Amino acid sequence: GAGVSQTPSNKVTEKGKYVELRCDPISGHTALYWYRQSLGQGPEFLIYFQGTGAADDSGLPNDRFFAVRPEGSVSTLKIQRTERGDSAVYLCASSLTGGGKLAEAFFGQGTRLTVV
């Protein structure tokens, strides 16, 4: 597609359930980023992929959060045993490279996760 696509756009789940959030980056982009954004705040870094591997996962808040990018394209963010505090907008972005002159990050429209 022409841009970064995130599905679903909205997800409501019950506390304790497992959820998966999907990100389709722009074709050819090697870098992929996940962020979490609470209402009225800036995006908070979760994890950054360069190709298939996680170059930096220091932002994952705890071991309930996990992300994969098995073929270096689509990525899935997985949250186990969801808690009400996980409610936020989860943003995905991709970049042609991991930095340098082509460092611009292109964002999807996010997935709004609500844990009830």
The residues binding another protein (CB under 8 A) are 33, 35, 40-45, 48, 50, 55-56, 59, 89, 91, 93, 98-101, 103-107, 109-110, 112
Nearer to another protein, 91 or 115 (CB): 91
- Of the chain, the end-to-end C-alpha distance in Å amounts to 33
CB of 85 to another protein, least distance (A): 19
What are the CB-based long-range contacts (under 8 Å, 24+) for 71-75? 72/30, 73/24, 73/25, 73/27, 74/22, 74/23, 74/24, 74/25, 75/22, 75/23, 75/25, 75/32, 75/34, 75/49
CB of 39 to another protein, least distance (A): 11
Nearer to another protein, 19 or 60 (CB): 60
Nearer to another protein, 50 or 76 (CB): 50
